[in-house]
Amino acid sequence: MIFRQEFKWNLRGLLIWSIILGGLVFLMMQIYPDFAKQQENLEALMEAYPEGIKKAFNMDQISLGTVLGFYAVEGYMLITLIGSIYVVLLAGNIVAKEESENTIEFLLSKPISRTAMLTQKILLLMVNIILFNVLVSLINLAAFMIVDDGSFKFLPFLLMSIAPILLHFTFASIAFFLSTLLKKGRQILSVTVGLVFITYFLQVISSVSDQLEVLKYFSPFEYVDPADIIVNETLNGLYILFTTGIILICTVAAFFYYKRKDIAV
């Protein structure tokens, strides 16, 4: 019951976010053929960039002269960053809204346990995140088919479609835990959206400065680095363990706390 109703309520937002984000990347990819034609001039321009800037945006490892490299530098960042904002907005409000909108009394009057309620809500998050990434990836694939110059490889593209799912699950689990912990939706959203931007800039800063390289381990964005995926054509197993650990810890903590939470009705 809860899953079905939540899915109906969130379907419109899912479609809007997917189409807008996928459309932005699709339009951006249409610029690639012009970049490819000017590859020699582009490489000369890249050489003039400061080393720190090239490291921050992976231009020291991948080339804008290939379709996957162009996507990794220009489009992938939008999917990871904007997609993370979408999932924390969804996850951060999914439980807290029941108390802020005074609907928790109605839910608790039904023959459903708190564990069952949270389970259905987290399943909704999982389905939404997967559908969101699938829709965006299909739009991206259509863009690749249009602008491909023969440099497109399906395996790196597939991995760069899977990696954001892990990233979005990570941020969603953190926001989900905060949604059970706090009552005010605005407070949760401020913290979670702020966390997305802070961890993104940690990843950028760690790429620019060798002295601050250790900061990258505190950013989930580092765990889905597109340059590593394109160069090695694989996902880092250690990073997968890190993200899985964060997801499990936050999810278990959310269930453990909410079962014992004193809810005012």
pLDDT digits (tens, 9 = 90+) for 146-205: 998 888 889 999 999 999 999 999 999 999 998 888 766 677 788 889 999 999 988 888
Q: Is the pLDDT confidence value at 120 over 60?
A: yes
Q: Is the pLDDT confidence value at 80 over 80?
A: yes
Is 183 in a helix, a strand, or coil?
A: coil
CB 168 within 8 A of CB 247: no
Q: What is d(CA 265, CA 263) in angstroms, rounded to the nearest whole number?
A: 6
Tell me which range, 45-49, 126-130, 191-195, 221-225, is most confidently predicted by mean pLDDT. 126-130
Residues in Cβ contact with 238 at an 8 Å cutoff, skipping those fewer than 6 apart: none
Q: Where are the domains of the chain?
A: 2-260
CB 174 within 8 A of CB 189: no
Per-residue pLDDT tens over the stretch 211-265: 777 888 888 998 898 888 888 888 988 889 999 999 999 999 999 988 877 665 5
Alpha carbon separation from 83 to 131, 138, 222, 230 (Å, rounded) = 12, 15, 15, 20
